Amino acid sequence: MEYAVKNIYKSFGPLKVLDDISITFPKNKTTCILGPSGCGKTTLLNIMAGIIEKDAGEVLGIHKQDISFVFQEDRLIEWKSVRDNMAFILKKKLKKKEIEETIDRFLRLVNLQEYKHYYPRNLSGGMRQRISILRAFAYPSSILIMDEPFKSLDINNKRIVMEFFKELIELERRTCILVTHNLEEALDLGHKIVILSDKPTRVKKVIENIYMESGDEGYKVQLRKEIEAELME
């Protein structure tokens, strides 16, 4: 099954936001959508998720019920434990026994069993976002949509949470669409990098990030320069 958006247009009144956006998302890989703040990246995600209507174009293979989300904020429910936060979304698709098995499996997977009965107020910002990401992976989705998930974290927590995400995506393969305005996040996480222009937003360039497979630091340095030049145009 192909996951893609084709010829997407969206305006808000006289403001044209998305102008003929076409992107294909490779299965079980991470596609990073990179562009300046406010260029319409979140609008594109909301169209894919069926939250807002497009003016024209097609969304292929992406259905609301098959998506799990990670947002800038962790969106944990403060009065529910880690276990109950995970169960809250799992109950939409799983039976009670399956819910408990799934929660325990995912907590064990990343050695976070000790946090099962913690409440969000007892967790650091970085740990809260890790739980948010784990909750999204635990939900039986085919696509994971992440909207600037590291934006609110300090440098140390950001590094920890990014490594946590890489560990999870390796263990639990998922098609991931990650929106960011941060070049380093795109270089370190994106198998495919889609560079967007500012309004009206168009696809400027699509890059297959060989660094994700090769680990070639020289290639990464060169690619960083190439993308920086694109972003400055």
CA distance 173 to 137: 9
CA distance 81 to 65: 24
The confidence score (pLDDT) of residue 214 equals 80
Q: Which amino acid is at 44?
A: L
**Lookup result for tokens 């270089």:** 187
The confidence score (pLDDT) of residue 10 equals 93
Mean pLDDT of 83-96: 92
Which parts of the chain are beta strand (E)? 3-12, 15-25, 30-34, 56-60, 67-70, 143-147, 175-180, 192-196, 203-208
163-172, pLDDT tens digit by residue? 888 988 888 8
The domains of the chain, with CATH numbers, are 3-76+141-232 (3.40.50.300)
22-81, pLDDT tens digit by residue? 999 999 999 999 988 778 888 999 999 888 999 999 999 998 888 999 988 889 999 999
Instruction: Work out the end-to-end distance of the chain between its first and last CA atoms, rounded to an integer number of angstroms.
Output: 35
Close Cβ partners of 52 (under 8 Å, ≥ 6 residues apart): 10, 43, 46
174-205, pLDDT tens digit by residue? 999 999 989 999 999 999 999 998 877 889 99
The confidence score (pLDDT) of residue 188 equals 92
Band (pLDDT 50/70/90 cuts) for residue 87 is very high
| Helix or strand holding residue 212 (H, E) | helix 211-214
Q: Is residue 132's pLDDT more than 80?
A: yes
The confidence score (pLDDT) of residue 60 equals 93
Which parts of 49-102 are beta strand (E)? 56-60, 67-70
